[in-house]
Amino acid sequence: MRTIIPCLVIALMVCGCSRSKRQVAEQAPPVYQPSPESTPVRLTAPAAAKTSEVQEAVKRIFKDAAVVDTNYNPNYLAGDFNGDGSQDLAVILKPVKLDVMNQELPPWLVREPRAKRDPRIALKIEKDETLLAVIHGYGANDWRDPDATQTFVLKNVVGNDLKVHSGEEFATANTGRKLPRPQGDLIGETFQGSPGFIYYAAATYSWYDPKTFTGDEAPPGAFHKQRAMR
């Protein structure tokens, strides 16, 4: 009997310990795992640009140093030209105040896509010159947003029949040719009798001429790869 009692005590202690461990395991709080934040998705397409809105955007960037050039139709286009998912505005301008347009540190970047120039060398805006300004969109209101101020001013690129083309349309229309790798939509036009495209890549705007493009300035890799990575 004396031998049986200690055995029962030990068995009860073992059962009690295992039950206690099981209860602790069952009562352990779940590990908190925050749900991943989802990227906001635009449910509706941006509204078509209105002339009054375009003029307001030009006024916001250039004040009274440049105005929309009414000699062209169309004189503005909307598209995602730098491929960041926000709608941008391309608008044809004529300078009004050259001293402001050629200020030492302008709040915009002046480029000449059709000429291979060192971007560190400042370009001058000439009197009566036709310019293409591209205002990059920002925030929920795209190029209409008051904080949308990043702007490129492009010289010597305004032609006729300006039209926005997606990257897929551009690649399909130029199958078999060497192509650059634009990051967003392109602006197709006829410049001095030759068709070509204005496109954004490598942090600046460039010019694509299907007859003369060699691919030297394009980064290595297939055109479609970058589009798929976006």
Report the SS3 class of residue 144.
helix
193 DSSP 8-state letter: T
Q: Which of 62, 95, 90 is nearest to 78 (CA)?
A: 90
Candidate ranges 6-20, 26-40, 68-82, 215-229; pick with highest mean pLDDT: 68-82
Q: What is the residue type of 129?
A: E
Model's pTM, two decimal places? 0.76
pLDDT score recorded for residue 6: 52
Q: Provide the pLDDT for residue 208.
A: 97
**Phi-psi domain of 189 (left: phi exceeds 0; alpha: psi -120 through 50; beta: other):** beta
Average pLDDT over residues 115-124: 84
Give the integer Cα–Cα distance in Å for 89 and 137. Answer: 7
Can you give the length of the chain in residues?
230
The dihedral built from the CA positions of residue 99, 95, 52 and 199, taken in this order, carries a sign that is negative
- 216 three-state secondary structure: coil
Residue 207 · residue 170 · CB < 8 Å = no
pLDDT reading at 97 higher than 50: yes
**Segment 33-66, tens digit of pLDDT:** 444 444 455 657 889 999 999 999 999 999 999 9
pLDDT value of residue 116: 80
